[in-house]
């Protein structure tokens, strides 16, 4: 477009012509149609001739002509050769095949050799073999004859000295336990102390224990069964304008104001609202460490348990 001076834009830049914006003149080829190796598709290529498949034709082998191992040998039928061999072997027989006069003999019982070819075998005989006469070995050397007696009721038979006799009362342990128990109860000043608020584990040791007395057994009241159903003496009354069908007479009119009745305030000490004290009450409790020790230790493993494991 010429300007006011009379020169165009190209004349002002100093170029002979404007450059093309798309291409330099080559033919456009899409990216999908371009070959992977462009130089390999221009000149003459190597043609191997394709793959060969295995078949009865000669094209399926590498050689152009089938080569035989032996040339000029004749065809041999293996079945015919086997029959000829069997006929030649049969000519060697002097007579017919041997057949026993009367079939196989069967044994007559367990351990019987009747019907066998070889007969009894001496190795399996039940007779005892001859042995040398047994000679008992000589006795051991005794330095002193043994003491007679089993030990019970005989004196001076044990290795050590005889125990001296000492008189002992028959019920001595029972009498001593009774004296110790009486002395212990004399020192007691009252009944054992029991705290009702003492904390317990999850459940009681005896779930069937009950400290209070059991309530008396309730007697089941038997309902009287009526032999015949109830029937009213007269039929029901029908409702009418005069209210003759109701059980009660017509209620009398009472003029009450339509107001809500207020509840009277609480008065006196006994009528005060109960407010519980703030915070929990203190009571004797056991630590977690003590509970864990009680559960881990018992009467069976308190000797074998070590201190480091807890």
Query: What percent of the chain is modeled with pLDDT above 90?
Result: 10
- Greater pLDDT, 294 or 310: 294
Distances (CA, A) of 53 to 48, 58, 64, 151: 15, 10, 14, 106
pLDDT band per the 50, 70, 90 thresholds, residue 66 = confident
Structure token pair of residue 153? 């009721």
Sign of dihedral through CA atoms 242, 244, 246, 247? positive
User: Residue 200 pLDDT more than 90?
Assistant: no
pLDDT value of position 173 = 92
SS3 per-residue string spanning 145-193: CCCCCCCCCCCCCCCCCCCCCCCCCCCHHHHHHHHHHHHHHHHCCCCCC
User: Residue 76 pLDDT more than 80?
Assistant: yes
Q: How many CA atoms lie within 13 A of 239 on its CB side?
A: 1
301 touches 215 (CB < 8 A):
no
List helix spans (H) across the chain.
9-13, 78-90, 172-187, 288-296
C-alpha 86/C-alpha 104 separation (Å) is 29
pLDDT value of position 176 = 94
- Residues 110-153 have pLDDT tens digits of 777 777 777 778 887 778 888 899 898 888 877 776 666 666 66
User: Residue 278 pLDDT more than 50?
Assistant: yes
pLDDT value of position 198 = 62
107 touches 115 (CB < 8 A):
yes
Of 23, 1, 28, the C-alpha closest to 12 is 1
User: Residue 179 pLDDT more than 90?
Assistant: yes
C-alpha 115/C-alpha 106 separation (Å) is 5
User: Residue 247 pLDDT more than 50?
Assistant: yes
DSSP state, residue 110: T
- Residues 99-115 have pLDDT tens digits of 877 777 776 777 777 77
pLDDT value of position 310 = 47
User: Residue 84 pLDDT more than 80?
Assistant: yes
- Residues 36-52 have pLDDT tens digits of 777 777 777 777 777 77
Average pLDDT of the residues of the chain: 76
Mean pLDDT within 266-295: 75
Residue tagged 């000589």 (tokens): 138
- Greater pLDDT, 160 or 174: 174
C-alpha 112/C-alpha 124 separation (Å) is 12
117 touches 110 (CB < 8 A):
no
C-alpha 8/C-alpha 1 separation (Å) is 5
C-alpha 196/C-alpha 190 separation (Å) is 18
Structure token pair of residue 262? 């207020």
C-alpha 39/C-alpha 1 separation (Å) is 47
- Greater pLDDT, 160 or 85: 85
């Amino acid at each position: 477009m010429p300007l006011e001076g009379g020169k165009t834009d190209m004349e002002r830049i100093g170029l002979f012509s404007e450059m093309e914006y798309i291409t330099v003149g080559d033919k456009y080829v899409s990216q999908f149609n371009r070959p992977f190796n462009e130089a390999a598709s221009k000149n003459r290529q190597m043609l191997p001739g394709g793959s060969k498949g295995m078949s009865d034709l000669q094209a399926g082998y590498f050689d152009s002509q089938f080569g035989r191992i032996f040339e000029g040998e004749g065809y041999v039928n293996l079945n015919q050769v086997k029959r000829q061999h069997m006929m030649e072997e049969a000519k060697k027989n002097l007579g017919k095949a041997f057949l026993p006069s009367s079939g196989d003999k069967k044994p007559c019982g367990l351990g019987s050799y009747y019907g066998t070819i070889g007969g009894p075998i001496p190795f399996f005989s039940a007779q005892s073999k001859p042995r040398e006469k047994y000679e008992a070995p000589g006795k051991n050397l005794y330095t002193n004859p043994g003491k007679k007696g089993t030990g019970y009721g005989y004196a001076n038979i044990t290795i050590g000295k005889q125990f001296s006799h000492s008189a002992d009362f028959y019920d001595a342990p029972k009498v001593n336990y009774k004296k110790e128990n009486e002395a212990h109860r004399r020192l007691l000043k009252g009944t054992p102390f029991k705290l009702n608020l003492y904390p317990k584990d999850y459940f009681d040791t005896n779930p069937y224990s009950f400290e209070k007395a059991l309530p008396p057994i309730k007697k089941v009241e038997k309902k009287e069964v009526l032999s015949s159903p109830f029937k009213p003496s007269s039929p029901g009354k029908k409702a009418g304008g005069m209210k003759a069908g109701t059980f009660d007479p017509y209620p009398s009119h009472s003029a009450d104001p339509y107001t809500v009745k207020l509840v009277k305030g609480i008065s006196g000490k006994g009528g005060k609202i109960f407010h519980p004290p703030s915070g929990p009450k203190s009571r004797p409790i056991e630590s977690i460490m003590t509970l864990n020790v009680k559960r881990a230790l018992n009467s069976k493993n308190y000797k074998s348990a070590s201190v480091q494991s807890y």
